[in-house]
Chain A
């Protein structure tokens, strides 16, 4: 049950794109398509942005997209907006009814 690896920070100017990586192992990210991404504004409830690697829940803008290759998943935020500034966490099913999150990436909109 080791945490997934994310870069601590990422940044971009308004209108640009930013991509966040999430690296796990063949026992979690690489072994299942149950990878998800969460946006968390401090002091508020985290919000699901992507599930099953690349699917968006209703209401999430299509500026948010997800992908996976091997043991690494990625979240891309296109057309950055000020309100996208937040902490982003990846999560993955890790087998045997357990889940694991990444350490989080703070996205700054310059």
Chain B
């Protein structure tokens, strides 16, 4: 059974940093592309970042380029999202998502990030 468990969310001040983690199990993590997506309060889903299995290729939505970094540790079956220079508009539930068939195949339960002073 595929399981994705996010952690690391919380309250942070504008300009601050936070690192999200996603523990994956139930599939061969190292060969699967992975994503982060988010949903701001009262808003729709938004794709945030994507990383291929080897970890060398990474892509981002324009609004987080230069501030967020996606990475993975295939030995630990863990996906990360380092978020720097956080803004109020980054407030959202962040989801770890397994890619498959050119779609967001399996989603974690999400972790809430609140950026506020």
Residues of A within 8 A of B (CB): 1, 3, 34, 36, 38, 40, 44-48, 51-52, 55, 57, 89, 91, 93, 96-104
Contact = CB atoms under 8 A, between A and B. Distances in A.
Nearest to B51: A97
Contacts of A55: 101
A46 B45 contact: yes
A2 B62 CA distance: 10
Contact of B107 (A34, A36, A47, A104): A47
A103 B107 CA distance: 18
User: Which secondary structure dominates where chain B touches chain A?
Assistant: strand
B53 to A, nearest CB: 13
Contact of B45 (A38, A52, A93): A38
A57 B101 CA distance: 10
A101 B61 contact: no
Contacts of B35: 99
A31 B30 CA distance: 29
Given A45-B109, A51-B100, A102-B44, 5 more contacts: A38-B45, A46-B45, A51-B101, A98-B61, A99-B104
A47 B35 CA distance: 15
